[in-house]
Amino acid sequence: METARYILSRFAQSLFALLCIITITFFLARLAPGGPFLDEKAVPDHLLEQMNRKYGFDKPLPVQYALYIGRLVQGDLGPSLGNRGFTVNEVIAQGFPVSFLLGICGLAIALALGVPVGVFAAARRNTTIDYGLMTLAMIGICLPTFVIAPLLGEIFALHLGWFDVALWENSSAWFLGALTLGLYYSAYIARLTRGSMLDVLGRDFIRTARSKGVSRLKVLFKHAFRGGITPVVAYLGPALAGLIGGSFVVETVFGLPGLGQHFVKAAVNRDYWLINGTVTVFAVLILSTNFLVDIIQAWLDPRTRAKR
């Protein structure tokens, strides 16, 4: 009963947060200077009035908001004003798989590198190995993706020729993009894993296990790992959001047709519905990921349910 109540509570909070994000994005986009039909060429007033009437921009903002929410509930994100002949649903359907693949592969690389490094550094606390690994992790945190991406392209694509440097179809450039994101976030995960593992390794039940002669590996992976990995699981939601959001830069560097380029163009061209659509899709992804992470975290640490 307590678990069901906790899940329903987190689900309701996620829905409320989603509504807030959609509402804020809608009104900020509408209140920003400029408009979707104000380009370099002067548009006659009568044509501008006709276009605003066609898309409903002549109505009061609360009415536009109510109409948009009504379409959104039905799954209709509206037409794309900057991609004539395409709906926002079609634009997102084309670009989202690219951004999602980069984010998921980047997260897998980050976990595969960061967690073992953090555990190994915690097991070798205050040794040269520990200092060296954490120094590399700090360097990784300090280097942004727009620095890492060109370096990887220069080394592995141009000099070694192992991967392609651009394009998507029949190309391996996506791996360099995922590797860029994975290396950046693996540094955060490594430091977080080390800190949480050191906290668990200093507790009484670990000292009791050691005093009973339990081997070091068994202490690490049977007794300490489950508690030490909990903060990393909690970090996965924000990490996935950062990975997919960070893919905007990677997509530009490697010429990948993800949502990043569409979002930037939509903001510049005031493509209201595409702005709202992309933000809504990312918000749904992030909130659903956080929701699943909360459930996993509650399973790993039942005290979480009592705190919320």
Question: What's the per-residue H, E or C state across 135-153?
Answer: HHHHHHHHCCHHHHHHHHH
Of the pLDDT bands very low, low, confident and very high (cuts 50, 70, 90), residue 96 is confident
In the chain, pLDDT over 70 holds for what percent of residues? Answer: 80
Place of tokens 């394009």: 167
pLDDT value at position 100? 81
Tell whether the model's pLDDT for residue 56 goes beyond 70: yes
- The pair of three-digit structure tokens given for residue 29, joined into one six-digit string: 């986009």
Q: Which residues of 2-15 are buried (b: 16+ CB within 10 A; e: fewer)?
A: eeeebeeebeeebe
Reduced to 3 states (helix: H, G, I; strand: E, B; else coil), residue 162 is: coil
Measured CA to CA in angstroms, residue 163 lies from 64, 102, 172, 271 at distances of: 47, 15, 5, 35
Task: To the nearest 10°, report the CA torsion of 257, 18, 145, 129.
Answer: -130
Please name which of 292, 289, 234, 299 lies closest in space to residue 3, comparing C-alpha atoms: 299
Higher pLDDT, 265 or 194: 194
Tell me the pLDDT band of 300, cut-offs 50, 70 and 90.
low
Whole-number Cα distances in Å, 43 to 36, 38, 56, 135, 213: 11, 7, 18, 57, 82
Look up tokens 């829905």; give the residue. Answer: 15
Delineate the domains of the chain, giving CATH numbers in brackets: 96-267 (1.10.3720.10)
pLDDT at 121 over 80: yes
CA-wise closest residue to 275 among 256, 292, 296, 259: 259
Structure tokens at 76: 């209709």
Assigned token pair, 95: 């670009």
Distance from CA of residue 171 to its chain's centroid?
A: 23
- Can you give the pLDDT at residue 87? 84
Considering only residues 26 and 33, tell me which one the structure prediction assigns the higher pLDDT. 26
Q: Residue 296: name the closest of 238, 237, 247, 216 by CA.
A: 237
Nearest to 98 by CA among 235, 227, 269, 263: 263
Task: Please check the confidence at residue 290 and state whether its pLDDT lies above 80.
Answer: no
270: left (phi over 0), alpha (psi -120 to 50) or beta: left
Segment 20-29, tens digit of pLDDT: 999 998 888 8
Assigned token pair, 167: 């394009």
Main-chain dihedrals φ then ψ at residue 135, nearest 5 degrees: -65, -45
Half-sphere exposure of 224 (CA within 13 A, CB side): 30
Statement: the pTM of the whole predicted model exceeds 0.75 = no
41-50, 107-116, 205-214, range with greatest mean pLDDT: 107-116
